[in-house]
Amino acid sequence: MPNLTLIYAHLATIVPAAFIGAYLLLRQKGTPGHRCLGKIYMMLMMSTAIITLFITAEVGPTLFDHFGFIHLFSILVIYSVPAAYFAARAHNIKRHKSKMLGVYLGAVLLAGAFTFAPGRLMHSWFLL
């Protein structure tokens, strides 16, 4: 049985991040609001990535009886979010955009879709 406290903490960070990230991708870039929400989004994504490292993989092969393939998305976030932040600070908008798009598509949408696969907790909560 997974640690539900960690699962709830993960959901408390990823759900608002998913909505904020979608909003940021669809709205005008570079505004004060974008920068403020972007910092909140980045903090939520870093928090969720760190939390997920403590959640044991329950499906598929594992490394050290803990880490599964889905944990690769945590590493993606832990690398890409600071890289995107520093790219924005350096006015390297192309790099910032590619990192943030990669985080959203990979760690929010793709990893999120994997959580609804049969045998996973979200599948049992919402699809059974």
Query: Smallest Cα–Cα separation from 104: which of 52, 54, 28, 48?
Result: 48
Give tens-digit pLDDT for 1-20. 568 899 999 999 999 999 99
Q: What pLDDT is attached to residue 2?
A: 67
Percent of the chain with pLDDT strictly greater than 90: 70
Sketch the domain layout of the chain as residue ranges: 4-126
Beta strand spans in the chain (E): none
Rounded CA gap, 125 and 128, in Å?
Answer: 7
Give tens-digit pLDDT for 43-56. 999 999 999 999 98
Cα–Cα–Cα angle for 35, 41, 44, nearest 5°? 145
Res. 116 pLDDT band, cuts 50 70 90: confident
pTM here is 0.89
